[in-house]
Chains A and B, each alone.
Chain A
Amino acid sequence: MTAISHDLPAERGVAVGAAKARSTYLVAAVCILVIAMMLFPLAVSFFASIKTPQEAVAVPPNYLPHTLSLENYLKVYNYQAGLPTYLFNSLSVAFLTIGFCLALAVPAGYGLARFPLPGKEAIFLFLLASLMIPYQALLTPLYLMFAPLGLTNSYVGLAIVHTVLQLPFSIYLMRHSFESVPRELEEAAIMDGCSSLQALLKVFLPAVRPGMVTVVLFAFIQSWNEFIAALIFMGKETSFTVPIMLVAVRLGRFGTVDWGALQAGIIIAIVPCVAIYVLLQRYYVSGLLSGAVK
């Protein structure tokens, strides 16, 4: 019977269609399973953060909170110097890093993309060379350099380290952005008698805005998340950034871990990154691709 049905074109089509539908369902099921696995850690952490502190330390733990409470967040808010201090530290360093990256990478990208410089590629390589050197190795000499200048436990000091980390990518990206601006735009500006600086401000900056958004995005996320330099350079309790504060929260006051407060802190550290990613996903993914395929 099966042999017969296989010979009928119409029935064969149905059979292929059924197999295809089956594999579509299977793929959808796998997708949903993967989504569940990826979101599980974030979901249970969020739920733990809104448990009461007592429930957060219960053994065995519950997946979902029985009673909702914001007490864990309140504890993090009042932790040591207070959450506002730590948020302010992290944000200050991040915004300074963004400022440094833009101030250095935008002109550099312009110079590299738009002027027939002698030895341009050598300069470009010099600027990107720091990509090859792990910044972890530079932390000791930078620390010795910064300590006498008062740049340890300082927003500017840590922002400089974060800029070292982020600058090659920013310059690469800005050069690329400037190169893709059509020549006609520039020529029109020169005809109007613009100097190169006026051309940069009036013609180019609006045209390279997507590149600048990507630079800002990566500088922010990288600086917000960066750990080892912050650990070394921000040793004073009042100058911790958020990730370093989290490690301190974990240690607790009496050597026991405050699990609920830790989860609340983790959620606070994650939210800005996730929000930016969800809002600016397009810039993020395209920036990542152009950066990796440099």
Chain B
Amino acid sequence: MNAVRGRYIGLIYLVPAVLFVAVFVAYPLGRLVWLSLTNASLLGGARYDGFKNYIRAFNDATFWTSLLFTIKYTLTITPILMGLGFLAALLTAENTPLKKFTRGVIFLPVVIGLGTSSLLWWWLFDQQVGLFNRALVDLGILSEPIVWFTQADLALWAVIISVVWKVVGFGMILFIANIQGIDKEINEAAMIDGAGYWQRVARIVLPLSYRTILLATLISAIGSMLAFEQFYIMTNGNPQGQTFTSVYWIYQNSFVFFKLGYGSALSVILTVIIVLGTAMQIMLTRRGEGT
């Protein structure tokens, strides 16, 4: 009797969360798809427009530029984040006081807002008052302070430097958890066999980190595909709209040009891309649990 009663009582506990997700996620998602088929404007009015918005997206040069730029950003920053994150994990995985402290410091910027850190770096990169520029000159890397945000390529690198500083600790923490979980005996056996440090990293640590690296790569790549703040704050999409990201172009269309219908079509396209990415991530995790 208790089990039967328990079933229905159990459902009651789920009702608030299910309702919340239905009203604030499922319904808006449906409405997004509907909006993408209309010429809705933030100024009011919406008429069914068929697939016009999607055809327009196909012919919209800035949409393609922004999508390609987002992909370029993702493909550039993700290997850097994973590589440096893995090196940082190798450096600090041991539990000595200095290494634990280093680990804590590398992770620290992860808790800072991306908007805030972007403003901080925008200042550091400033040609006149920026101390990053000054430090590069003092270290002899640059002969004089440079303007970072007038060339698209340089602006991209400035953003990458700032984001790497902010999120490199995220991958590092995942990798450290993994490295600490590796059986010490394997390492000791390899040491007795005369394997040097980097040999052990290449033959033991890397292969045993494979799944974590894939997972971190996907999480990080999905995050980069949704980049907005860093470009909104640091480059403003400039020069000549060359540094718009997908989310930025959606924001621009929906809330600056008030073209909600068109912005929604772009959102649907982006959502499809991200859902595919996340599905891959979930499949990977599921398969890992099985082994």
Q: A110-B13, A133-B29 are in contact. Are A225 and B113 (CB under 8 A)?
A: yes
CB neighbours of B16 from chain A (8 A): 103-104, 107-108
Q: A145-B31, A259-B123 are in contact. Are A105 and B17 (CB under 8 A)?
A: yes
Q: A134-B226, A136-B228, A137-B268 are in contact. Are A284 and B123 (CB under 8 A)?
A: no
- Please report the C-alpha to C-alpha distance between residue A38 and residue B124 in the assembled complex, in whole angstroms: 13
Interchain CB contact (< 8 A) of B165 among A41, A59, A274: A41
Interchain CB contact (< 8 A) of A228 among B122, B132, B229, B270: B229
Q: Answer yes or no: B3 CB below 8 A from chain A CBs.
A: yes
Do residues B120 and A266 form an inter-chain contact, with CB atoms below 8 A? Answer: yes
- List the count of A-B residue pairs having beta carbons below 8 Å apart: 243
Q: Answer yes or no: A138 CB below 8 A from chain B CBs.
A: yes
Do residues B24 and A232 form an inter-chain contact, with CB atoms below 8 A? Answer: no
- Please report the C-alpha to C-alpha distance between residue A262 and residue B104 in the assembled complex, in whole angstroms: 26
- Please report the C-alpha to C-alpha distance between residue A126 and residue B16 in the assembled complex, in whole angstroms: 13
Q: A61-B134, A108-B16 are in contact. Are A247 and B233 (CB under 8 A)?
A: yes
CB neighbours of B146 from chain A (8 A): none
- For residue B136, give the distance in angstroms from its CB to the closest CB of chain A: 12
A-contact 0/1 string along B211-251, CB 8 Å cutoff:
00001100100000010110011000000000000010011
Chain B residue nearest in CB terms to A275: B111
- Please report the C-alpha to C-alpha distance between residue A56 and residue B126 in the assembled complex, in whole angstroms: 13
CB neighbours of B11 from chain A (8 A): 111, 115, 117
Q: Answer yes or no: A243 CB below 8 A from chain B CBs.
A: yes
- For residue B15, give the distance in angstroms from its CB to the closest CB of chain A: 8
Interchain CB contact (< 8 A) of B111 among A63, A126, A127, A221: A221
Q: Answer yes or no: A140 CB below 8 A from chain B CBs.
A: yes
B-contact 0/1 string along A89-124, CB 8 Å cutoff:
000000000001001110110111011111000010
Interchain CB contact (< 8 A) of B131 among A61, A167, A171, A273: A61
Chain B residue nearest in CB terms to A161: B24
A-contact 0/1 string along B79-91, CB 8 Å cutoff:
0000000001001
Interface of A is mostly: helix
Do residues B10 and A116 form an inter-chain contact, with CB atoms below 8 A? Answer: yes
User: In residues 251-287 of chain A, which contact B (Cβ within 8 Å)?
Assistant: 259, 262-263, 266, 269-270, 273-274, 276-277, 281, 284-285
- Please report the C-alpha to C-alpha distance between residue A284 and residue B107 in the assembled complex, in whole angstroms: 11
CB neighbours of A63 from chain B (8 A): 131, 134
Do residues B112 and A107 form an inter-chain contact, with CB atoms below 8 A? Answer: no
User: In residues 122-167 of chain B, which contact A (Cβ within 8 Å)?
Assistant: 122-124, 128-132, 134-135, 145, 165
CB neighbours of A293 from chain B (8 A): 174, 215, 285
Q: A28-B98, A136-B247, A160-B24 are in contact. Are A276 and B13 (CB under 8 A)?
A: no
User: In residues 153-202 of chain A, which contact B (Cβ within 8 Å)?
Assistant: 160, 163-164, 167, 171, 190, 196
- For residue B129, give the distance in angstroms from its CB to the closest CB of chain A: 5
Q: Answer yes or no: B254 CB below 8 A from chain A CBs.
A: yes
Interchain CB contact (< 8 A) of B112 among A44, A136, A273, A294: A273
Do residues B113 and A45 form an inter-chain contact, with CB atoms below 8 A? Answer: no
Do residues A167 and B124 form an inter-chain contact, with CB atoms below 8 A? Answer: no
Do residues A164 and B25 form an inter-chain contact, with CB atoms below 8 A? Answer: yes
Chain A residue nearest in CB terms to B170: A288
- Please report the C-alpha to C-alpha distance between residue A32 and residue B175 in the assembled complex, in whole angstroms: 21
Chain A residue nearest in CB terms to B278: A132
CB neighbours of A87 from chain B (8 A): none
A107-B17, A134-B274 given; name 7 further pairs at CB < 8 Å.
A30-B91, A56-B129, A108-B16, A117-B7, A129-B21, A196-B9, A288-B170
